[in-house]
Structure 1
Amino acid sequence: MHKIPKFHYYFLHPKFWLIWIGIGILYVIVSLPYSVIYYLGIRLGRMTKYFLLHRMHIIKRNLDLCFPNLSTKEKKDLFNKNCESIGMGVLETGMAWFWSEHRIKRWFKIKGLKNITQARKNKTGILLIGIHFLTLELGARILGTLNPGIGVYRPNDNPLLDWIQTKGRLRSNKKMLICTNVTGMIKALKNGEIVWYAPDHDYGRKNSVFVPLFAVPKAASTIGTYILTKIAKPALIPFIARRLPNSFGYELIIFPNKKNEVPLNTSTDMIKYINKIIEQIILLAPDQYMWLHRRFKTRPPGEPYLY
């Protein structure tokens, strides 16, 4: 059983000093006015094109695979905007970890909060369908501020970063569960808790089905949503936190409960439906999605690697 990380004096070892310096710089930057944070984040993102060359290749490849009908100029514009969002995402992570609740709420507009309120009246658990946007940490923070729940996460390989990340997320969550702890998620949902879950990444061949995602006909997609829904019978509520243009803040959109619309005949039917929801949400802010991950790395037997 994975334990929630705690602070150790070992973290003061010189091998961690660069991380502490980086966290200190991040803390200072996000303490500045938002207009300055926005300016610095956009320019930091533009610099990533010259340093994260491997990730830049992955972004371009994902855009080619998902949007083959976009013109060369449209894809280039989307690529450039996505790079800017990467820089903002770094600073937005700091905002999520270090900003006060008052400052977080000041910069967010919220739509659809009634969808969670109504679902809670039924006294069932709520499975929040999250998407890996670059605003991920910030969106989770505002959601947790409004309705504290259970965060699902993958531990960071670096123990210090794992502690800092978890400490930041627990500012607005009751507890954290490792992403492989399906039993813990089911128990939480059956107890009427809100559980944040992101089914949009490639988690490998195990417990996945190959179903369409955008223009890719066979994308490895986790059946975790199907398992949790079939057993715990929670409300299914998608959401998105997206950055508004020109440093005007953020918008949290909470969608209506999809529980009665989702086909549960087979895992394949359901995950096809979930992927359609994922597509629709990504298209609300495609420049802010995490295209830098190899979403289509797992292929069906006999099919070529796409990267």
Structure 2
Amino acid sequence: MTTRSGPAHGRPGPSPGAIMSERPQLINLAYRFLGSLAEAEDAVQETYARWYAMSRREQEAIDSPGAWLTRVTGRICLDVLGSARARRERYVGEWIPEPLPGGTEWLNGRAGGGDPADRVALDESVDMAFLVVLESMTPAERVAFILHDVFRYPFTEVAAIVDRTPAACRQLASSARRRVRAARTPAAPTAQQARVMRDFKQAWEAKDIAALVGLLNPAATMTVDGGGRTGAALHPVTGAERIAHYILDIDARAPGMTLLNRSVNGRPGLVAQHAGTTVTVAAFAVTDDLITHIWAVRNPEKLRPWATPRT
């Protein structure tokens, strides 16, 4: 568990710098728990609010502040996940996890001189296909699996966060692992996916239906998240030809769109901009040179990290 040991009782407590140095770990955990950067930031902010609401004596009595911060963040995220199901039943259309830019594309004050604590480490555990599988888990399964299988926390520490026995946490992680294995398909190497993305972008720009269809698996699925805020299919679009026509219909409704090859959650993807504003961020699953799934996020609330930087 990535934490720092606190002081013994009666000795000076941890410095503000030491406490805040835990923030990157907490943001990384919370994003994987929740699939939303905005909600992750809120959860971590609430964790720090609870820390600073304690007296100095109460803080000094905590042997490992890092472990305390992790435990509180995990419990806050469990509560958020519990309420998220009810919220998503009222959500308009399909719900997709919030997409993240790549390192050099981390915008809206998060690139260059931005706060590195607000970045999420981009690895296979934030791949969009993986995050979608996490959405199928119960809150306790998701938290136990991420803590143990992704971040390598021992089950004794996981138990303190999910308020279960270590044996129960082991069962939760095992159940989650089965879900991941059942849903996973072989992913194309990054270079191969990047080539497919370039070809797909070229076909889209050329409005070449045949070329688009040729890059899609015949049984491909496209899921679009508009959140009721912008035009989006309310249900997944299935089949290569239907997806190709749907994409070009979007293009016809917003002529003059600019397509950009960008890293989305650590994998090659596409970004569509209109009049300088990012309107769609699309993540892809590619197997055997064919696109098997497209996750297109159009809800502007989820595109804030992709906002054009101020000049």
TM-score computed with the length of structure 1 as normaliser: 0.29
Structure possessing the higher relative contact order (Cα contacts under 8 Å, 6 or more residues apart): 1
Q: TM-score, normalised by structure 2?
A: 0.28
